[in-house]
Structure 1
Amino acid sequence: MFKEFLKHLFPRVVLEQNLRISYTLCLGGLAFSSLLLLALSGLLLLFYYRPGATEAYNSIIFLESAVYGGRYLRSLHRMTSHLFLVLIMLHTLRVVLTGAFAPPRQRNWIIGICLLGLAVFEAYTGYLLPMDQLALWATQTGMTLLETIPLGSFLRDILVPDTVGGPLSLIRFYVLHVVVLPMITITLCLLHFYLVRKQKGLLPYL
């Protein structure tokens, strides 16, 4: 699967007709590129962020005020996360409008929808980490909305076993944002590109 992924990134031959500029040019590739940038910037942020209920906010202040380029790094991570969501939503819309979800590509369509959901959930878990007032109230609003759906209260208790912004909830959001969700997302991306290679049809290369 990883071999097919590399072949997808570095094709042997590219068709000339697919090099023309269009409004849907490489939306999936751009989304994946933004995901890699998120991973790199997030990794650098880990050197300064402290996932403690009383330390998280101070670590962000220190990053922005005392670390050279820290404010730029945090802004880059935040803006890239917005770009990633926009690109993956546009990519999903393109698939819908072009009918690329039809058989035999329905399995890859399901994987793509899962990636979209993971992207939204990843953004949500990262929103709490700065532990400022905006993060706390936005997360509280999300948890209140979650309780309105079936099994919502059960899911809320898993994500927030104490209070929003409490020590346990913060560490769970941190682990989800930094480890669990990125690993699942990368794995599904590999599978997504693998299936695109195998199904051929819409490939811009040979």
Structure 2
Amino acid sequence: MNGAEGFVRDFVRHLFPRVVLERNLRLTYTFCLGGLAFTCFLVLLCSGVLLLFYYQPSTATAWESILYLESQVPGGAFLRNLHRLSSHGFLVLLFLHTLRVVLTGAFRRPRELNWIIGMVLLCLSLFAGYTGYLLPMDQLALWATQTGMQLLLSLPGGELAHRFLVPDEVGQPLSLVRFYVLHIAVLPMLILGLSMLHFYRIRRDKGVLPYL
């Protein structure tokens, strides 16, 4: 129990430190990219929950529910664009954060575990964006998802993953439901859990990090 409490405590302390050194408030090569990416993720969670009140995960009504949201719901178009733009910002900041880690050598011992966690987070975030692309069920979403599925087949184990994600066809009821569940539940929970672990490991390794 103490281990779990320490895990959560270090996660909270990393987000809301009791004391911040003056030198850490200056703009340096870190640029707080990880914190900014996590902020975008929180915006994604909040806006996504609000979108759930209007989106209907059905092949017959998905696009109509998007049109209703944008045309009939006050602030609906803003909410959808906020979710879309924050997802773009989330991925861009994650890529920049990863690039900064590579260029500064912050992946070296003893931080190898956190580097692996970060790479898994990046892959999960890309996959989350991909699963969300299908949900509007417009023509562009269908074409893009179909292209992604074809690329997946060229990878080792891609056929098995293809059968799991698309048991019928892209845009058909089963595939839409699976993309929907992955996008709103499975992937956000994994990303949130790994983010907590990532921040926890940063606190644990703070003695060897030059910028903490």
Normalising TM by the smaller chain, what interval?
over 0.9
For the 8 Å contact 1:147–1:156, the answer to whether it is kept is yes
Residue aligning to 2:82: 76
Residue aligning to 1:202: 209
Letter in 2 for 1:171: V
* 1:6 aligned to which of 1, 9, 12: 12
Residue aligning to 1:186: 192
SS of the equivalent of 2:120 reads helix
For the 8 Å contact 1:197–1:203, the answer to whether it is kept is no
Post-superposition offset of 1:3 = 1.1
Residue aligning to 2:101: 95
Residue aligning to 2:113: 107
1:59 aligns with 2:65: yes
For the 8 Å contact 1:14–1:204, the answer to whether it is kept is no
In percent, how many aligned pairs have the same letter?
Answer: 62
What TM-score comes out, normalization by structure 2 length? 0.94
- Report the count of equivalent residues: 205
Letter in 2 for 1:34: C
Letter in 2 for 1:47: F
For the 8 Å contact 2:29–2:100, the answer to whether it is kept is no
Residue aligning to 2:4: none
Q: Deviations over 1:104-126 (max 9, x none)?
A: 00000000000000010000000
What TM-score comes out, normalization by structure 1 length? 0.97
Structure 2 unaligned residues grouped into runs of 5+: 1-6
SS of the equivalent of 2:171 reads coil
> In terms of mean alpha carbon deviation, does 5-14 or 181-190 score higher?
5-14
Residue aligning to 1:44: 50
Q: 1:66 to 1:132 in 2, by over 3 A?
A: same
SS of the equivalent of 2:53 reads coil
Structure 1 unaligned residues grouped into runs of 5+: none
Post-superposition offset of 1:22 = 3.1
Structure 2: distance between partners of 1:24 and 1:188: 20
Residue aligning to 1:158: 164
Structure 2: distance between partners of 1:66 and 1:12: 45
Letter in 2 for 1:125: T
Q: Deviations over 1:78-128 (max 9, x none)?
A: 011000000000000000000000000000000000000001000000000
Segments of 4+ in structure 1 off by > 3 A? none
Structure 2: distance between partners of 1:149 and 1:193: 32
For the 8 Å contact 2:40–2:89, the answer to whether it is kept is yes
Q: 1:58 to 1:43 in 2, by over 3 A?
A: same
Structure 2: distance between partners of 1:15 and 1:130: 46
Structure 2: distance between partners of 1:42 and 1:62: 16
Letter in 2 for 1:97: L
Q: How does 1:105-184 map to 2 (within 5 A)?
A: 105-184=111-190
Q: Deviations over 1:155-179 (max 9, x none)?
A: 1010000010000000000000000
Letter in 1 for 2:97: H
Structure 1: distance between partners of 2:71 and 2:204: 49
Letter in 2 for 1:136: L
Structure 2: distance between partners of 1:100 and 1:24: 11
Q: 1:113 to 1:174 in 2, by over 3 A?
A: same
Residue aligning to 2:3: none
Letter in 1 for 2:25: L
